[in-house]
Structure formats: C-alpha cells, structure tokens
Chain A
C-alpha cells in the first residue's frame, strides 16, 4: 500500500487517535493514521460534552476555530420516577469565563476539525481504510498493519491502537479479551433541532450559554443506566444508555426506552416542536479499572475506549481518550529521542506516566462502582420513587401536620427497604466511592 516506513501508525481518528497522531507529528515523527470512516467522525458518537482541559494540553488555542456549541453554565442532575423528577441544579456565572471549562460539541464536526489539525501538523491520514490485522515479526513484535485496501500493508516502529470500544484489531490479535455484556453500556441518541431563540428561552440562556442534564431513575426501567439531554446552538442531544447484560434480561428495546424518556412529562416540553435529524447508537466501555486490559506490548500501545478509559460516573471519556493518546505519543517521542527500542519493557513508561495523572487516579478511585451499581438496582428503581414520593408529601399542603408528614416519609422508606438495607446501601456506596 504505502512503501515508505513510518515512525508510527495510528489506528482510528477519534479523540484518542487524533491526540496521539497530532502530538507525534508535531514533534516531527512520520505518522500514518488510518480511519475506516469516509471522514473522521462519520462513525463516532458522543453526548457530547467536551472537557477543555484535556484538549488545551494538546492544542492550547483550540477555542479560536474549533466547532464548539455552547459553554456549560448550568448542570442539572435529575432523579426521575414515571411522572416527576427531583433535581439538583447548579448554575453559576463563574462559568461565563474567558476560557470556559466545558462545552457541548457535535462529534462528527469536532472530529473533522481535530483531524484537520492533525494533518496540518504533518501526519498522513487515509480514510475509508479499515485495518484488518496487526503484522508481527518472527519474535512476535508488532511491526505494522494490514488494511482492506486491496490487502495493502504499512510498517512502523509502533502501532497506536485508538480503535474505540469495538476494538476488533487488538482483540483479534489477542492483545485484550472480548468485551463482556456486563461491562459495556449500549446508548441510543437523537439530535433534535429547534431555533436558537427557542432553546435559549426554554433553558433560560443567553448567547452561547448552555445547560446539560444527567438523569437517572425509572427511565431505565430497573436497569443500570442513565439518560442525558444537552443543549447545542440549534439542537438538543438526547439519549439514554444501559448496561448490555441488563438489556438482554429486560423486555425493553433501546429505542422504546428513549421514546419513553422523550415523552416523560419533565422532558417532553423541552423538545416540543423539534425536528429529529439523526438517530445513532454506540457502546460505552463501563467496566472501569477492573476491566482494563494490558495497555502496551512489543511495538504497540492502546489508548482511549479500546483500553476501557471511561469514567462512567462522571461521564468522562473523550478527555481520557485525548489524555491517553497524548501521553502514549509523548512516551514514544521520548523513547525515540533517547534511541531506545519501543519494546514492552520500555513502553511500561506509558503506564507509569498515566499513573501520575487524573486518568489512572480516577480509574482506581471508582474501581468498585461499576460492580456496585450492577448489584444494587434499587438506586435506579426504588430510591428515585421513594425520593419523589417524599418530595411530594413534603411540598403538598393538605392539612396534614409536618410531624405526621415526616413520619409518612420515613415509613415509606422503611416499607420500601428495610432499615438495615438502607443503612447498608449508604455504607456500601460510601465504600465504593472512597
């Protein structure tokens, strides 16, 4: 396919692959990047909230031309039952800062922009090219890739795998095990278009201010999962996702769940009159630290979703993807400068560097959470109902005295779950959180 040898081959042009390719090309390495989509982003899905910090460390002045939708000034967390929600809203004018911290984005547009920067930095990008396998030498070290462009091959000193959650190349090469249904979530999402002014009026916004909503409760019908609704300039992203093994046990369809979420009385007025222009689905690796595979080997490194780098509790993925991509690239550049081999032993430096960052610290902090939520379904079903019932008892003025109301609320919790269970849940949650 391509005769010349490269310093590095990057598989995938999502945030992890782009961060890696950009960082290496910028440092003068000869980089080949391969992407199976017609253009970068054409296969990719995100909510999408972009965390500025991770991108700033790669492209400090990204705000000048990146396709950003709105900067987030208000976060809503909703616990929902069938007809109500209990919300925690945090809105602050501090988020109207010169360099805002979080933005909503549209991934297909964002990935294209990022990819433009990668090419400007000097990397060679080939789209419409699916990598089909890794090539190895007799000693087993990875030396290149085979593609579906007439079976063409390309060779490099290192292959960086930023191939996303469905990482077939690495899996088939035996670098990591197949995903398990209880460690991935299936999310479906729609893009709903509305005039700018309508969005601003409905969400109490001006200019480029934005609101994001994360929701949990009976909307997932007892499954471990969450819903989200984000404001873009002229559209609203709405989606819902649950752990795949929960889906297989339930009688719900993903689109049925999304439809019910959209028609929830707390959500429906926000979408009223909108036009849906796209429906997408994607997996999210949610197994956390305990599901993480080996991250490097002789001639290869894995970055982003392919390495399970997602913090599901905080809905962070793209920033971990960019950070792992950048650090993998920096490690490669560093080793090359020192004329060291890109062997498994030397590439351990990648993991060492990751351990120093928020990436590994957070992955470790939340290592027990995926399992905890999987086995404590009342957080998604029972508690939201109890919470809503309690709020309603408390706020409804109906001649019942407040002490009696307190008792009713307490009893509803006791009836829903034994006191020992309640205390146990709080205790277990605190322990997993630690």
Chain B
C-alpha cells in the first residue's frame, strides 16, 4: 500500500523541501505579516499552523503562535482565516520583494 502521508499514512510530508525550489527576495527585517501579541491564540490562528501552505506558522512553548514568513507564497489564506479575530497585520511585501514565481 502506498504511503499517503499524515492522516492516512506514515511519514509526515515536509513543506521545507518544496520551498527551497522557489525563488524569494526577502525584505530582511521587514516581515509583511505580523501576529499581534496574544496570550492564547484563537482556533483560527492555531489552524494556520496546519493550513499555511508554506508552513510559516508554529506554536512556541508558551502555546502562542509565531510566524516566520520568509517562505510565504503570498496566498492570503491566513489573512482570510483570521479576518474575524484581527490577530494578524497582513500587507503585501514591498514592491519587488517576496516570492518570485518562475512558472506560477
């Protein structure tokens, strides 16, 4: 039987291996997405640790959600998912920065 990953199978699928194929112009020190300081994340923000297609979100040892957006592919999912909770400050990267699709 073929390994179908996560829920249905064995080895977890790593997103990092996919991202290193991509090209980015990182705007060092100016992340385009910021998480507002929080004690406990909402269910929506927590879901982003699984839902972000670039794996930008993780939970720290105090249970708060953190983001490292260098690998962000600018899909906007996290913005839509947390629109109600207001936990994110989401902007496009400055013109010319961010992900650069060769094929799209």
Contacts and interface: CB of A to CB of B under 8 A. Distances in A.
B19 A279 contact: yes
Interface in A244-288: 244, 247-248, 251-256, 259-260, 263-265, 268, 276-283
B25 A254 contact: no
Nearest to A219: B4
Interface in B15-73: 15, 18-19, 21-22, 25, 44, 47, 50-51, 53-55, 73
A41 B94 contact: no
B76 A283 contact: yes
Given A244-B77, A279-B18, A281-B54, A45 B95 contact: no
A106 interface: yes
B104 A265 contact: no
Given A166-B76, A179-B80, A277-B103, A263 B4 contact: yes
A253 B15 contact: yes
Chain B, interface size: which category? 35 or more
Contacts of B2: 263-265, 268
B84 to A, nearest CB: 9
Interface string B73-100: 1111101110100000001111110111
A166 B81 CA distance: 13
Contacts of A254: 51, 53
A301 to B, nearest CB: 21
Interface centre among B22, B54, B101 (most CB of A within 10 A): B101
Given A147-B95, A149-B95, A251-B50, A278 B77 contact: no
Contacts of B83: 178-179
A36 B50 contact: no
Contacts of B4: 82, 259-260, 263
Chain A, interface size: which category? 35 or more
B99 A43 contact: yes
A108 B3 contact: no
Contacts of A184: 80
Contacts of A149: 95
Interface in A293-340: none
A179 B83 CA distance: 9
A256 B13 contact: yes
Given A43-B101, A263-B3, 15 more contacts: A41-B101, A43-B74, A45-B104, A129-B95, A166-B75, A166-B76, A166-B79, A178-B80, A244-B51, A252-B7, A256-B7, A259-B13, A279-B73, A281-B75, A281-B77
16 contacts: A41-B104, A42-B101, A48-B104, A106-B103, A108-B104, A147-B95, A165-B76, A179-B83, A253-B6, A254-B53, A255-B55, A259-B4, A260-B9, A279-B22, A280-B104, A281-B77
Interface of A: 36-38, 41-46, 48, 82, 106-109, 111, 127-130, 147-149, 165-166, 168, 178-181, 184, 186, 188, 190-191, 221, 235, 244, 247-248, 251-256, 259-260, 263-265, 268, 276-283
Interface of B: 2-9, 12-13, 15, 18-19, 21-22, 25, 44, 47, 50-51, 53-55, 73-77, 79-81, 83, 91-96, 98-104
Nearest 3 CB-CB pairings of A with B: A128-B96, A281-B53, A107-B104
